[in-house]
Amino acid sequence: MTNLGAKRSDRLHLLDALRGLAALSVVFWHWQHFFLSGPVPETVDRMKLPLYDWFFLFYEHGWLAIDLFFCLSGFVFYWQYSRSVAEGSITSGTFAILRLSRLYPLHVVTLVLVAIGQSVLMHVQGTFFVYEYNDLTHFLLNLLFASSWGIEQGYSFNGPVWSISIEVLLYALFFACCRLLPVRLILLAGISLLGFLIQAIYHVPIGRGVGSFFLGGCVFLIYRQIMA
């Protein structure tokens, strides 16, 4: 029997390929920011973007790749961590260090560089680049990975980092679910459905993240059952 939940050295190359495709999609989606005629992304005529006929799917729908990222995260987390978290062999502190140590250094460096760039741009031309809420409050929210937790006024500084902000919340929710609840397909499906309902009703990023992340967990459990 293949023990997919225990071997951390295992690697599914299809996941790497999907990550690469998703990353490329996000790059294409945000490329439109360099063709703005004003501070709002909707002012871009996407049909005039470079090689639009070839890459129109990326230009028009690249934002959906974020949902794929959340789904892949759910798959990988349930594959790599669900058993050790459920059995108590990894503490919450160790889990947090493992995850945040991979994200926080680059996050802080990027935030500082973007803050400097936004400040220079405001000084030179009197406007920020795309994201307008670049004050001290939003800087602190970004510093704490809280830029998209519902207490912000809007996108700020490095706007695309909203997905990482949601991902950090998903880490905590994942750990709590694995530690306190049984890892069952029906339970994960219910949490995923709840997330999508929250997104549909309230249009908040956390619903989008929860729905896709736990859907990825469902896919892993189905995959594990098939490969057993």
Q: Give 3-state DSSP helix, strand, coil % of the chain, rounded to 5.
A: 75, 0, 25
Quick one: pLDDT at residue 3?
41
Span 56-76, average pLDDT: 89
pLDDT exceeds 60 at position 1: no
**What pLDDT is attached to residue 41?**
52
Which tens digit of pLDDT belongs to each residue from 18-32?
Answer: 888 888 888 888 887
Task: Write down the domain spans for the chain.
Answer: 84-159
**Is a pLDDT exceeding 90 seen at residue 7?**
no
Per-residue pLDDT, 164: 93
90: left (phi over 0), alpha (psi -120 to 50) or beta: beta
Tens of pLDDT along 146-200? 999 989 998 999 888 999 999 999 999 999 999 999 999 999 999 999 999 999 9
Percent of the chain with pLDDT over 70: 92
Report how far residue 193's alpha carbon sits from residue 72's, in angstroms, rounded to the nearest whole number.
17
pLDDT greater at residue 57 or residue 141: 141
What confidence category does residue 2 fall into, taking pLDDT thresholds of 50, 70 and 90? very low
pLDDT at 228: 74
Segment 58-76 mean pLDDT:
90
Residue-level pLDDT at 13: 77
Residue with the larger pLDDT of the pair 58 and 206? 206
pLDDT at 6 over 70: no
Mean pLDDT of the residues in the chain: 87
Give percent of the chain above pLDDT 90: 57
Q: 163-166: long-range contacts at Cβ-Cβ below 8 A with a sequence spacing of 24 or more?
A: 163/66, 163/69, 163/70, 163/205, 163/209, 164/103, 164/107, 165/205, 166/70, 166/205, 166/206, 166/208, 166/209
Instruction: Specify the higher pLDDT residue, 41 or 115.
Output: 115
pLDDT single digits (tens) 10-21: 567 788 888 888
Round to whole Å and give the CA distance between 21 and 14. 11
pLDDT at residue 89 in the model:
92
Average pLDDT over residues 202-228: 92
Rounded (5°) CA angle 14-17-20: 150
Sign of CA dihedral 148, 221, 102, 91: positive
The residue ranking higher by pLDDT, 9 or 58, is 58
